[in-house]
């Protein structure tokens, strides 16, 4: 789908989730109430995810084609809001990523396949 050629001039900096979370916090506003921060970041996260979904919809159903630079930008906004949400809840983004990988390794020890997806433990009504 994407060979990465549109990003040939991009020089990648290796960034950990921890580093990103701490650096991105500098650009977040403050809230008087913790609930306000959680609500703001949650609504922002869903809004940005919706903007990304709209890009995909337009690419597929409106024949706009995939604008990878715009998709990367929107995914960056999703990451920013996710990071702020984690921060407001006192959760390390590194921990979220680590726990998700552990869950996926347990769920799909040999990588994804349809049979394991259908027969997942939580699908069996245990």
Average pLDDT of span 86-104: 96
Which pLDDT belongs to residue 126? 45
Coil/strand/helix, residue 30: coil
Q: What is the DSSP string of 24-77?
A: HGGGS---SSHHHHHHHHHHHHHHHHHHHHHHHHHHHHS-----HHHHHHHHHH
Task: Please name which of 33, 76, 32 lies closest in space to residue 52, comparing C-alpha atoms.
Answer: 76
The CA dihedral of 95, 100, 105, 108, to the nearest 10 degrees, is 180
Please say whether the beta carbons of 26 and 69 come within 8 A: no
What is the arithmetic mean of pLDDT over 63-87? 97
Which pLDDT tens digit goes with each residue over 17-34? 999 999 999 999 999 999
Pick the closest to residue 83 from 27, 12, 34, 25 (CA basis). Answer: 25
**In the prediction, which pLDDT does 16 show?**
94
Q: Is the pLDDT of residue 122 over 80?
A: no
pTM of the model: 0.83
93 exposure class (CB count in 10 Å sphere: 0-12, 13-18, 19+) = buried
Average pLDDT along the chain: 90
The whole-number average pLDDT for the span 62-73 is 96
């Amino acid at each position: 789908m994407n060979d990465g050629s549109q990003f040939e001039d991009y020089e990648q900096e290796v960034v950990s989730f921890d580093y990103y979370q701490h650096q991105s916090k500098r650009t977040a506003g403050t809230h008087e109430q913790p609930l306000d921060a959680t609500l703001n970041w949650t609504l922002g996260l869903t809004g940005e995810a919706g903007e990304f979904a709209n890009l995909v919809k337009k690419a597929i159903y409106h024949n706009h084609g995939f604008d990878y630079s715009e998709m990367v930008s929107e995914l960056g906004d999703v990451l920013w809001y996710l990071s702020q949400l984690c921060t407001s809840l006192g959760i390390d983004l590194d921990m979220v990523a680590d726990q998700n990988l552990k869950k996926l390794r347990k769920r799909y020890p040999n990588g994804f396949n349809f049979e394991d997806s259908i027969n997942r433990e939580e699908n069996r009504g245990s």
